[in-house]
Structure 1
């Protein structure tokens, strides 16, 4: 089982063309099992790092409090640790559902550009394509590289599994990313503008 997982990860990362050709006829459960294992890894590592950072920041902050600083830290830090566990569980549960939501959002674009396969193929490609993000997403700089890497693997996977040309695969990935990013940017700008409009200082300047 572990060796199969390692071989699949190596195939997705290093030889995506060949990998997706081999799994084109395979079912969704295998891809979902691999996704769940990597999601659990990502959730634990990301949650632990967040918990460690919060613990360290609180202890550093309380060092300026004479006498009672260490005592307060010993009382507060266990509570912070519980929040870390909650972050791990929350990240894992969110990942389980978000992958299906993302698949449902991107699949119509795949159909629009001529995708011939069903929703299960879209989900399978997306779960495998998440491998770099789940492996490296907890590293600040590597996290960005992981997202770009996942997008490239997604393009390759759609080309092999959804019956799309390379250009159509790129469009199926880039267009929804651009549209959803633009949508959220508009929402953020609208909220900021509305907040500024309600700020009394805005009317006094």
Structure 2
């Protein structure tokens, strides 16, 4: 990104990520890890602040704790989970590249996830951004990027579906309808 200041980058990158993900991943391929982490913290903190404001206004009080947990788990555990499949499918650019993809892929979810009814759109666009990021930073094909994402989401959904068919499932999850797109 040249000699652009960190603050300028932190304002530039979210917009660029939303409208031109492939270009963003080309741009950040060699970016310092500190800049990538700062970006991740800024978008997650933005999301948490907006979620807190929405909760205080009475708009979405039940989302605050799940938002904090989801943000941390998505970046940490989700990054390793994704990398497991990326590596298995031939991505050899390292776990750092996968975490770059995850952090930048969170952009739409972080910017829109706090808005009831719009969070799902952000989540879906995040998946698209991760798809482009995997191709660009892990140098894997379109088909392998799709397969990695299908496995990352498909295996937990399959396990949840199997769990849901077991007797007593409702004891552990009394209201599946309360799932939110955080």
Alpha-carbon deviation of 1:186? 2.3
Q: Secondary structure at the match of 2:57?
A: helix
Note if contact 1:28-1:123 (Cα within 8 Å) is conserved in structure 2. no
Alpha-carbon deviation of 1:179? 0.9
1:123-166 deviation line (CA, Å, top 9, x unaligned): 01100000000000011221011011000000000100001011
Structure 1 stretch 10-19 or stretch 156-165: which is displaced more? Answer: 10-19
Q: TM-score, normalised by structure 2?
A: 0.80
Equivalent residues, number: 165
Q: For 1:1-80, list aligned pairs within 5 A.
A: 1-53=6-58
User: Distance in 2 between the 1:43 and 1:30 partners?
Assistant: 20
User: Distance in 2 between the 1:189 and 1:152 partners?
Assistant: 31
Other-structure match for 2:130: 154
Rg larger in structure: 1
Q: For 1:53-202, list aligned pairs within 5 A.
A: 53=58, 91-92=67-68, 95-190=71-166, 192-193=168-169, 195=171
Give the alignment's Cα RMSD to 1 decimal. Answer: 2.4
Extract unaligned runs of 5+ from structure 2.
1-5, 172-182
Q: TM-score, normalised by structure 1?
A: 0.72
User: Distance in 2 between the 1:191 and 1:121 partners?
Assistant: 42
User: Distance in 2 between the 1:145 and 1:194 partners?
Assistant: 29
Other-structure match for 2:179: none
1:54-107 deviation line (CA, Å, top 9, x unaligned): 7xxxxxxxxxxxxxxxxxxxxxxxxxxxxx99x758844662354111111111
User: Distance in 2 between the 1:189 and 1:177 partners?
Assistant: 19
Q: Which has the higher helix share?
A: 1
Note if contact 1:36-1:96 (Cα within 8 Å) is conserved in structure 2. no
